[in-house]
Structures are given as C-alpha cells and as structure tokens.
Structure 1
Amino acid sequence: MIHRYKNNGYNIVLDVNSGSVHVVDDIVYDIVGCLEEKMSEAAILEKFKNQYKEEDIRTAIEECRELEEAQMLFTNDIYENAIESFKDRPTVVKALCLHIAHDCNLACRYCFAEEGEYHGRRALMTYEVGKQALDFLIANSGNRKNLEVDFFGGEPLMNWNVVKELVAYGRSQEKIHNKHFRFTLTTNGVLLDDDIMEFANEEMDNVVLSIDGRKEVHDFMRPFRKGKGSYDLVVPKFQKFADSRGQQKYYARGTFTHHNLDFSEDVLHLADLGFEQISVEPVVADEKEEYAIKKEDIPKICEEYDKLAKEMIRRNKEGKGFNFFHFMIDLTGGPCVYKRLSGCGSGTEYLAVTPWGDLYPCHQFVGEEEFLMGNVWDGVKKPEISCQFKNCNVYAKEKCKNCFARFYCSGGCAANSYNFTGRIDDVYEIGCELQRKRVECAIMIKAAMAEEE
C-alpha cells in the first residue's frame, strides 16, 4: 500500500507496510502512482511521452523497481496473517491511571469528567485505596520491571498529601519486588506552589500542565466556577515549572474547540511563552455541544496544521524550535509491532482506578457501568471486557484496513469510538481525518529537517 501526497513543496511517497518514506521528484511521484495501478512500462511511456523524456521515464521506473526489490516500496503486509498470534499474546498490567481526586477547582466547559465527578459523586482517593491499587499493579505486572502510575483527576493537587504518601509507598516496594515506578501527574496549576514543584521534580517522570493557549481562549474554556478566568494565575507557575524541569519531561497540554479553529495561534502563543514541549489537541465532544468540532471544520483545521508545520520548520532553522506532540513521529524505530496493531493497551495493559477502587479500561470509560471490570482488592472480575479490548486492533476495524495512517494511530481511541458509534471496534471519523493530516505534516517536517542536515 502506497500513500502519495504533496505538502509544502515536497513530493512524498509513504510505503505504508514498511514505513519507508521517499521524497521524490515529479517524475518518480507520477510513476509510483502508475506502478501502484499495475500499469505496464509501455503504458507509462505512452502516458508521459509529452511530459517527460523517455530516458528519464525508464530511469525512474528502474529506480522504483530497485526500491521494490529492497523492500522499501510496494511491500506486502506481513502483520495481518500474524494478528491472531498477537491477540493470543499474554498481557500483564503495566500502567494505572489513579483518579486521585474526583473533584476539581475549575469548571472547564469541555470536561468529560463533569468537573471531576465522572457521572458520580465527588470523592478523594484514600491512601488505603491507592496503596491497594499499587499492590494490585505489582501483583499483576508479571516480569515487567517498569510500571507507570498517572495521578489524575479532577485535579490531583486537591489530594496532594495522598499523592506524596503513595509515591513514598511505591518507592518502598521497588527493591522488594524488583520494580521501578514511573510516576506522572496532570494538573491545572491552580494549587501549584514551590514545594509541589520541588517534589514533582524529584519524583515525577512527566507532568502535564493544562493550558489552552491565548488568554481569551483559555479563560473562556477553563474558568473557575464563578466564571473568572484562570490564565493569569497559572501561566507564571507553569513557566517557572517548565524551566525548573529544564524544558524536558512535561507537556503544556491544551484543547482546541470550534471556538478557536485558528488553534495554531494558541500553539505558537505557548511557544512564545517559553514552553518547548507542547500538545494542543482537538476537543472530542457530542456534536450537540456548541464547542464541538464539526465535519465542516475539518478543512480549516487541516489548513492550521499546515500553517503550524511550516512555522515550526522556520523557527527550528532560527534556533527557536519546539516540540509539538502530534507531529512527533519516529521514522526509524517507532512503536513495537504490538503497539502499532493494538494501540494504547486500554482494558488490558492499562487500567483506570476510581477513588473507591473500581477498575475501568481507561479514564474515559469511568462511570460507564458496562465497562466496570472489577476492583483493586478482587482484581479483574470481568475478563471478557479485557478480551474485547484485546481483540480491538487495526485489522478488526474495517475502516482502518485501507487507511495509510493505521500504523501511526493504531486504530484510534476506543473511548472515542464508543462515544460516537456505540462500539469500541469502530472509529471516530473526525478524529481519523485529523490524524491523517497530522501524520502527513509530521512526515513533511522530517523531510524538511533532513534537507537541512
């Protein structure tokens, strides 16, 4: 399978199954398309006889044939026949999302957690529940040494003492069980102070700082409950925090909506504030919500991704580069085959834990009772739910089979699919359109950067 496209003056050919990327001239670009359609050499010569020299056409065809022999063009899909063995692969739990606080001090308009309540009651996780969650993770992690625990909410800093106690407990168990905990934290910054920053810099492998971009955008979508904006309070704290971490191991993470389709300006605003690790993602919301991304918004959003990609190249050349999460693609190694086929591991390797210890496939399924899998004391009591997620891969989704981006998104988010289609093995089509565009931009950026080397 081949994907050809033009972006920012580059002719790009992606061989989907091998992951090989070729930046080519016009003649090779055209001929690759003909070869994909199984056109004969004679037919190709006839088609382009008035456009290119015969010698150049023959040379281009030969170059394509050489790439094909080198397994870099028109390669076969070697994964589809092996998917059954991947589905039968034993899995262990390697990551937990601890809902340390089902409560929040902001009232973000787009919050899927309903101000931290998750379709239920406000609650803070106790140390006892959190300790049992860590014990559950250790007991169900098999031989895996590195384990991940994300302190999530609501707003985790509203239960900060328990966070610290759980980190201390986790550290105390590492040598005993030959494990290493990688703790992460997601915060809106309202309660962030110097002591928390110091602790986080010592113990948190990554921190997500929630900020949407420009002041007017952020304050409109992320106000306090009485309506006052939070931008002026959190920005100085986030800037200090990012600098204290050496501009590494964090993300300034925002959400854009129908109200700021010019979101590239928000990304660049964050870069101008000094943030070097940025992720601004499209909101996923019911189409009835006034802020929801609509199908008619897609052309504008794609235009913004192109605009952002070009500006990132320009800034990088000037020594003012920054990372944008959705444009970060590893073309040499990338994720393992299992991850490329099956995604994030929700429901199998990654689970969410509520403040009272219930287990769900991920944080976005919390409160959906049909996905209640068990609890941290009794373990997974509904293995059939895990099986559903284990069988959810790019070959189980009809709409993924002919998509060039399938090995980059691994079939997309199961929660988004469920919320829009009622099935975890379908896709959220707006998300697919935007994902394809992001992949194209990311590869183009790689091509531009390679040209500079």
Structure 2
Amino acid sequence: MKCRYCYAAHEFKVLKNMPKETAESAVEYYISHILKTGNNLFGLEFHGGGEPFAAWDLVKHIVEYAEKRCAHENLRLKIHGATNGVLKKDQLHWITRHFHSLLVSFDGLPHVQDFHRPMGNNEDSFKYLDQTMKYFDHHNFPYGIRCAVSRFNEDILDETIDFIRENYNTNLVFMEPVHICRNTINNRGIKKPDFYKFIENYKTLEPLCAKKGLRLEYSGAQFTRISANFCQAGTDDFAVTHEGYLTNCWEVTDKAHPFSETFIFGKILPGGKISIDQEKLDYLRTLSVKNIEYCRDCFAKWHCAGDCLTKLGHNQFKGPRGGDRCITNRQIILHRIFRLLET
C-alpha cells in the first residue's frame, strides 16, 4: 500500500525479510526470559515497518515454530498483530486458525479509506478491507479497528462510527490523530486534525458508541488501564527488526530512525548469539511516567503514561510535555472521569 500518513517509508522497492534463523533465535531468547521470570505466557505480535503479512511464509514459519516450542515448554501462547487488511482468502483462513486477534488499520467511510490509504498502484483499497472484515465477522474472529483522523475526515467521525457499526461486528475502535512525520510531509493532502475539534468530537462520540455496544479508545487516554508506561518502551518487552536488532519501540524499526541510538539495545548475531548493550537497556527501563518531572502532579498520568515517546517532538524523553497531544490526553481523561461520576 501507499498510505499517505504512515511512518513506515513506502519508498522501499525491495521487500526486506528477516532470516528464519533470526526469528527462531528471537523466539528462543524470549522463551528463556519467560522461564527465568516464572511467567508462563508468551505474547507474540507482528507489527510494522510495513505490512507484516507481506512476509507471509516467514510469518507462518515463526508462528508454527513458536507453537511447537511453547507446547514443549508448557507455555501459553497468545498471537496478535496489526495489518492493513489486504489479505487473500487462504491467508484469512490460516490467520483465523492461529491468531487470537488483529488490529486492522481502517479509516471507516469508503472515500476516506481510499484517500488516506491507497494501494501501491493507486487503486482503491476499501473493497479489500471490506472483504477482510466481513470474513472475520463470518468466522467470529476478534479484531479491532484503528481509524486515523486527519483534517480530511475530522468533521465526519459520527458518520464513520455509524458506518462501522452498521457494517461490521467489531466492538473496538481506536480513533487516532494523524501524526506529522516524514511521509506525511511528503504526501500532499494530509494535515493533522484540529486537536480541539478532535477533543469535542471524541466527547460526543464516546457515549454514543457505548449505546451502540462499541468501545471507543484513543491511545493517549486509555481509561481502562493504569500504567507507568505508554507502550512497550521502558518495559522488558521488545521487538526484533528484519536485520535482527532488538528495539524497545515498535516504530524504531531500523538504524536509520533518528531515535535508533536510544531504542535499539541489542542484536541477534549469526549463530543465534544475543548481544545486549546493558547500559542502554538500563536506561530504557527508566523511561516511565514515574520518572517524568513534568507529569509528577498530573491527574492523567496513569492513563496517558507519559504518552508516545516518538511523538513528543524532541528526544528528551524524560523532559517536557504540554503540546497538542498532552492537552488532548488530559481533556479526554477528564471527560471520562466526569462521565464515570455521573453514572
């Protein structure tokens, strides 16, 4: 696909796949970590720099290898992923038998999906997403929707919700404001939404969604959790890039990323040996809202958890917040508190 706002660079013409040996070493590394901690849950997720299912044979190999190894070690295995939803029927059949859930990037109304997320040949993409989600619905497969909000669709979010509710069986929708990154700047026609308008829209939509049996979420104000970490960054969870690097941030997927020196903390070497920069790993474990002075007295800090570190606009990860997203997070969490008190 050639999504207009994606952080993953679609300019790459050659598909870069992880070697199977690297994938197997990553599975073994995580199993050894789990066994040391006494936990018995292996969480396996597939995510970008790009569409993970483009490496279809590799995904199947990793899943089947993890299933075999977890069965041998008596570990529970939960498999999740994110996808653009452009999948063939045989892929959908296999996914519904092996995965526990997916998050589908889908921007709702057909004309919005086709504008935001065109195919690589500029063909419309809605028809493919429609087929995928109806397949999931027919097979009772659990999935959520991640809907990006730009200036293009910020005034029709109510129509978006109605369309999703009327056509699909999912009960979870994330509304996420477009973040301006390199790809967004290079693609004309995409602008970030008016955050104050986004806040008011969200306040209106959330109770309406609840009445329709739909859970509306926004990543910066997750009221159903209490956490010191916004995401995997700062925790012992990690991702493995196609080159075998270990990264603590799902968006830092190669050494070219400006934050790679912070978030990439190790590498799987030939032969399966793991190289770890312990100093970097120790620093990453301090990236918690508990250590952010700006957030110290904020009522929203356990639900925003310091917000996404790659969207701060600077590299002082324990430093100041206060931008558009910070205001959005506080306003939405405050709204949710008031709603809770009213009930």
TM-score band, normalised by the shorter chain? 0.7 to 0.9
- Cross-structure match for 1:433: 327
| Counterpart-to-counterpart distance in 2, 1:204 and 1:253 | 18
Partner amino acid, structure 2, of 1:251 = G
- Cross-structure match for 1:299: 196
- Cross-structure match for 2:213: 321
Q: Structure 2 matches for 1:46-445, cutoff 5 A?
A: 106-115=1-10, 117=12, 122-141=15-34, 142=36, 143-153=38-48, 154-193=50-89, 195-245=90-140, 249-262=142-155, 263-274=157-168, 275-286=170-181, 289=185, 291-293=190-192, 297-313=194-210, 316=211, 320-326=212-218, 329-330=223-224, 334-335=225-226, 340-367=227-254, 368=257, 369-370=260-261, 371-376=263-268, 377-417=272-312, 420-426=313-319, 427=321, 429-445=323-339
Cα separation, partners in 2 of 1:271 and 1:231, compared to 1, 3 Å: same
What is the SS of the residue equivalent to 1:365? Answer: coil
What is the SS of the residue equivalent to 2:291? Answer: coil
| Counterpart-to-counterpart distance in 2, 1:416 and 1:116 | 22
- CA shift digits 1:367-414 (9 cap, x unpaired): 234133211334352122222221122232232123211011211112
- Cross-structure match for 1:18: none
- Cross-structure match for 1:90: none
| Counterpart-to-counterpart distance in 1, 2:315 and 2:14 | 25
Q: Is this contact kept in 1: 2:44–2:79, CA < 8 A? A: yes
Partner amino acid, structure 1, of 2:149 = F
What is the SS of the residue equivalent to 1:123? Answer: coil
**If the length of structure 2 is used for normalisation, what is the TM-score?**
0.85
Cα separation, partners in 2 of 1:441 and 1:380, compared to 1, 3 Å: farther
Cα separation, partners in 2 of 1:380 and 1:179, compared to 1, 3 Å: farther
Q: Is this contact kept in 2: 1:359–1:380, CA < 8 A? A: no
Partner amino acid, structure 1, of 2:77 = F
What is the SS of the residue equivalent to 2:306? Answer: coil
| Counterpart-to-counterpart distance in 2, 1:226 and 1:365 | 27
Cα separation, partners in 2 of 1:404 and 1:433, compared to 1, 3 Å: same
What is the SS of the residue equivalent to 1:260? Answer: coil
- CA shift digits 1:21-77 (9 cap, x unpaired): xxxxxxxxxxxxxxxxxxxxxxxxxxxxxxxxxxxxxxxxxxxxxxxxxxxxxxxxx
| Counterpart-to-counterpart distance in 2, 1:242 and 1:115 | 30
- CA shift digits 1:201-223 (9 cap, x unpaired): 22212211111111121111100
Cα separation, partners in 2 of 1:116 and 1:128, compared to 1, 3 Å: farther
| Counterpart-to-counterpart distance in 2, 1:197 and 1:172 | 21
| Counterpart-to-counterpart distance in 2, 1:393 and 1:149 | 23
| Counterpart-to-counterpart distance in 2, 1:218 and 1:321 | 23
How many residues in Structure 1 have an aligned counterpart in Structure 2? 323
What is the SS of the residue equivalent to 2:44? Answer: strand
Q: How far did 1:121 drift?
A: 6.3
Partner amino acid, structure 1, of 2:190 = Y
Q: Is this contact kept in 2: 1:309–1:441, CA < 8 A? A: no
The RMSD of aligned alpha carbons is: 2.5
- CA shift digits 1:145-185 (9 cap, x unpaired): 11211112312222222212211111111133232221112
**If the length of structure 1 is used for normalisation, what is the TM-score?**
0.65
Between Structure 1 and Structure 2, whose CA radius of gyration is higher? 1
Q: Is this contact kept in 2: 1:206–1:250, CA < 8 A? A: yes
Partner amino acid, structure 1, of 2:332 = R
Percent identity between the two aligned chains: 24
Q: Structure 2 matches for 1:11-30, cutoff 5 A?
A: none
Q: Is this contact kept in 1: 2:41–2:76, CA < 8 A? A: yes
| Counterpart-to-counterpart distance in 2, 1:155 and 1:212 | 16
Q: Please, which runs of 5 or more residues in structure 2 have no aligned partner?
A: none
Decide which moves more: 107-116 or 321-330: 321-330
Q: How far did 1:231 drift?
A: 0.7
- CA shift digits 1:116-155 (9 cap, x unpaired): 85xx963022322211111111122322211211112312
What is the SS of the residue equivalent to 2:228? Answer: helix
Q: How far did 1:425 drift?
A: 1.8
| Counterpart-to-counterpart distance in 1, 2:83 and 2:63 | 16
Q: Please, which runs of 5 or more residues in structure 1 have no aligned partner?
A: 1-105
Cα separation, partners in 2 of 1:281 and 1:159, compared to 1, 3 Å: same
